[in-house]
Structure 1
Amino acid sequence: MSSRSSAEVLHYTAFSADPGGGNRAGVVLDASGLDDAQMLAVAAELGYSESAFLTAPDGRGGHTLRFFSPKAEVSFCGHATVAAALALAERDGPGDLLFTTPAGPVPVTVAREDGELRATLTSVEPYVEEAGSADLAEALAALDWPAADLDPALPPRIAYAGARHLVLAAASRERLADLAYDFARLEAFMHRLGLTTVQLVWRESAAVFHVRDPFPVGGAVEDAATGAAAAAFGAYARELGLVPDDAVLTLHQGADMGRPGTLTVGLTPGDTRVRVSGTGTRID
């Protein structure tokens, strides 16, 4: 019997209004009848990088939200959060939501802008830490990236805003476009450091970045649009003084995979949390 037989699964793409762009996610709006093994089985059967599972409302205006890749539960997933919020908004109307995730509470506001629904999530409290030299060397070896191809203006760091990501900046768009890595080696490295993705970035201009996110720990070569990494990158950019405290950043992701998407990252003076917003659409 299919693991999906006991739950209605909706299919969305996040961070693009085009069904052919952005990052796809399964959304189960009522997963109260599924146990952990069944949720993992649904995610594996769907094959998306992550899927979102909500319990019934908690009576206080919130929902419990969990995320599963085809291989494991994930502490936080931005694109699946956006997909879940859009699914609820299409059913119940736009407004404010509060998701209780394994990483902590994540408020989301859904509004209609220019005829499209747009979701804005607010991350949990982020942090940024140094990346050790030996760890950096191992990451570069797994990626087959020479250290000389890194941008010295954007130093490597590990950033967290619900999940941990190693941020590595390419010195050129060509370097970013050329991604052919050792899957098993990078996966083992990421498990050792508790990383969800490696956030590869190239800075086009002061507030515009192109990003890619290898995701071997989730069973995917690459994530098409990564809201959790975008939130972590916002914390990284602010921590290193790369952008002002009120910056709005545009992250382009997925073009190298043929699934272009756009993530908007907002910083607010006096609030260390990061806001990530984007559109999305149902694809079934």
Structure 2
Amino acid sequence: MTSPAAPLVLRYAAFPATQTSLATTATGNPAGVVLDASALTEVEMQRIAAAIGYSETAFLTDAAGSSDSTDELRRSIRYFSPGAEVPFCGHATIATAVALAERMGIGRFTFDTPIGAVVIQTSTEEGRIMAAFTSVAPKLRPLDPMVRSALLRLLGLADSDLDERFPLLVAYAGNWHPLVFVRDLATFDALTFNPADARQMMDAEGWAGTISVLHAEAEHEFEARNVFPVGAITEDPATGSAAASLGGYLRETSLVAAPTRIRIRQGRHVGRPSLLTVDIPAEGGIVVSGTAIPISLSE
């Protein structure tokens, strides 16, 4: 009996800050994409994600998907980090949508994710395929004072380091992310943390996303560092679900007047500069957009 063929794993860098046709230099957040994982078990998907080693790999778990009455392609998707399944992954969603659009043409896709249906619109812009996903409805919750103190100790921050304009809350738009705003750029750049301690705290608090540390550069411009210790990774270069959570946070706290657009730079501190564009409507899900480019085999 012959063994089944190994699934084809595509590799893309999502949200690259430099717009090239091939990721020959480090930019964006790498994601694995398996366009047909219909024959794979959960154990096999986890094993593949661990072998790839990227922060997440996306698996389309139906063979071909289906179209609804609007001719919209609908696919079922799951996301695995090297250590566990995660409910949602923004950058792997963008990468998967771009991979599908390259093969099927641009249009609107719906991904049935573990957190619900997520709509992605693909388009072309200056010869590049762009993708924009609309998150599930965002929400906020307060942080327990003891957890808040422990989080600041983990990050080596004091209350005086925080930007008092932005309350420390936990935000959701697919995954839960505590949002920590640091006032001074030098303090933001000097941030250090113990990855094992961070992972222990995130698991204990049910933060399936990242710990998002942010610096406000201007009213609608932010830089982010996203703590995400898994496998060999400690800090995520571009986090779509955190970007959506930030958009929801800014709207729900009335720190921006919706509708509006913000931009998030991320990845500078891990050598993979990334750019995420976030559109914040007056109500409903948050729209996060960017492109994804194939990763060179030499990278």
Picking from 173, 178, 189, the partner of 2:190 is 178
Picking from 169, 173, 178, the partner of 1:157 is 169
Give % identity: 40
Aligned pair 1:58/2:65, yes or no? Answer: yes
SS across alignment from 1:230: helix
- Pairwise CA distance, 1:241: 1.0
Is the deviation greater in 5-14 or in 71-80? 5-14
- Pairwise CA distance, 1:160: 0.4
- Pairwise CA distance, 1:225: 0.2
What runs of 5+ residues in structure 2 fail to find an aligned partner? 68-72
State how far apart, in whole Å, the 1-side matches of 2:170 and 2:231 are: 18
Aligned pair 1:232/2:245, yes or no? Answer: yes
**Is this contact kept in 2: 1:263–1:276, CA < 8 A?**
yes
SS across alignment from 2:66: coil
Q: Which residue type is aligned with residue 198 of structure 1?
A: I
- Pairwise CA distance, 1:272: 2.3
State how far apart, in whole Å, the 2-side matches of 1:4 and 1:127 are: 43
Aligned pair 1:210/2:223, yes or no? Answer: yes
State how far apart, in whole Å, the 2-side matches of 1:31 and 1:272 are: 31
What runs of 5+ residues in structure 1 fail to find an aligned partner? none
**Is this contact kept in 2: 1:111–1:118, CA < 8 A?**
yes
**Is this contact kept in 1: 2:79–2:89, CA < 8 A?**
yes
SS across alignment from 1:273: coil
Closer/same/farther in 2, CA of residues 152 and 5 from structure 1, 3 Å limit: farther
* Structure 2 match to 1:142: 154
State how far apart, in whole Å, the 2-side matches of 1:281 and 1:219 are: 22
- Pairwise CA distance, 1:218: 6.5
* Structure 2 match to 1:35: 41
Q: Which residue type is aligned with residue 223 of structure 2?
A: H
* Structure 2 match to 1:122: 134
TM-score relative to the length of structure 1: 0.95
Give the total of aligned pairs. Answer: 281
**Is this contact kept in 2: 1:69–1:219, CA < 8 A?**
no
Aligned pairs (5 A) from 1:256-275? 256-269=269-282, 271-275=283-287
Picking from 82, 89, 102, the partner of 2:114 is 102
Q: Which residue type is aligned with residue 191 of structure 1?
A: D
- Pairwise CA distance, 1:232: 0.5
* Structure 2 match to 1:8: 8
* Structure 2 match to 1:46: 52
State how far apart, in whole Å, the 2-side matches of 1:4 and 1:204 are: 51
Aligned pair 1:85/2:92, yes or no? Answer: no
**Is this contact kept in 2: 1:57–1:64, CA < 8 A?**
no
- Pairwise CA distance, 1:220: 2.3
* Structure 2 match to 1:73: 85
Q: Which residue type is aligned with residue 100 of structure 2?
A: L
- Pairwise CA distance, 1:4: 10
TM-score relative to the length of structure 2: 0.91
- Pairwise CA distance, 1:57: 3.2
- Pairwise CA distance, 1:156: 0.5
Cα distance per residue 1:101-142 (max 9 Å; x no partner): 001100001100111111000001110111111111111111
